[in-house]
Chains A and B, each alone.
Chain A
Amino acid sequence: DQQVKQNSPSLSVQEGRISILNCDYTNSMFDYFLWYKKYPAEGPTFLISISSIKDKNEDGRFTVFLNKSAKHLSLHIVPSQPGDSAVYFCAATDGGATNKLIFGTGTLLAVQP
């Protein structure tokens, strides 16, 4: 049962344009969401997060939007840069005793110069 889904395995955008990465979840108990960036053979790097009490969080070129009714979140990268090319994972947690994260399957973003 995949509780966090990223339906687009890959995305290609031109440098300078907007990249939009999508994530859907099924567990209504999730109350905190995170986006991680990962290069091959490296550990994920934290990018940005959002609490379920908000619908938007912005940090520089990165903005995360949360639509709780649709159980959907998205990561916007503007403007996209070639260095943004990586696999992006969304993750969710319901807090609980361990704060464990449930990861999506990832989206490979390729930013073309």
Chain B
Amino acid sequence: GAVVSQHPSWVICKSGTSVKIECRSLDFQATTMFWYRQFPKQSLMLMATSNEGSKATYEQGVEKDKFLINHASLTLSTLTVTSAHPEDSSFYICSATPGPSYEQYFGPGTRLTVT
């Protein structure tokens, strides 16, 4: 149980275009979903927290107009990287919690490369 999927697993896009990443909880309803970013050999950096039906809460330093998060249902959250630039190239990971739990279940991640 507690499976989280992400799509796509990797994507290459040109500078200036937008990319959408989907995060789905497959076997549970996720009241809260989180989006992280990981640079090579570094820790997971929390970007934002999203609750179904409400606006995402962004961490300090994360541009909310650049990283658009939508949590449309209890099983789906999307992250859209708008007007992507090479410095946005990274590994993006989502996680979800099945209710009031500290344990987060992570998706497999999405490798974004902006050329």
Q: Tell me if B109 and A42 are in contact (CB < 8 A).
A: yes
Closest to A44 in B: B106
Distance to closest chain B CB from A21 (angstroms): 14
* Majority-rule SS of A interface residues: loop
**A98/B102 contact (C-beta < 8 A), A103-B43, A103-B44, A105-B42 known:** no
Residues of B near any A CB (own CB < 8 A):
4, 6, 32, 34, 42-44, 46, 49, 51, 57, 91, 93, 95, 97, 100-109, 111
Residues of B within 8 A of A49 (CB): 102-103
Of B4, B57, B104, most buried by chain A (CB within 10 Å of CB) is B104
The answer to whether A43 and B46 have CB atoms under 8 Å apart is no
Q: List 10 A-B contacts (CB under 8 A).
A: A36-B106, A41-B109, A42-B108, A42-B109, A43-B109, A44-B93, A46-B105, A95-B102, A99-B101, A99-B102
Do A43 and B108 touch (CB < 8 A)?
A: yes
Instruction: Please tell me if the beta carbons of A99 and B97 are within 8 angstroms of each other in the complex.
Output: yes
Complex CA distance for A106 and B44, rounded to whole angstroms: 9
Total cross-chain contacts (CB, 8 A): 57
**Are B106 and A41 within 8 A (Cβ)?**
no
User: Which residues of A pack against B, CB within 8 Å?
Assistant: 32, 34, 36, 41-46, 49, 89, 93, 95, 98-106
Closest to A2 in B: B43
Contact assessment for A44 and B49 in the assembled complex, using a CB-CB cutoff below 8 Å = no
> Which residue on chain A has the smallest CB distance to residue B9?
A41
Which residue of the partner chain, among A41, A43, A93, A95, contacts B95 with CB atoms under 8 Å? Answer: A43
Once the chains are docked, how many angstroms separate the CA of A78 from the CA of B109?
29
- 4 more contacts with CB within 8 A, not counting A36-B106, A44-B44, A102-B46, are A43-B93, A89-B43, A101-B46, A106-B43
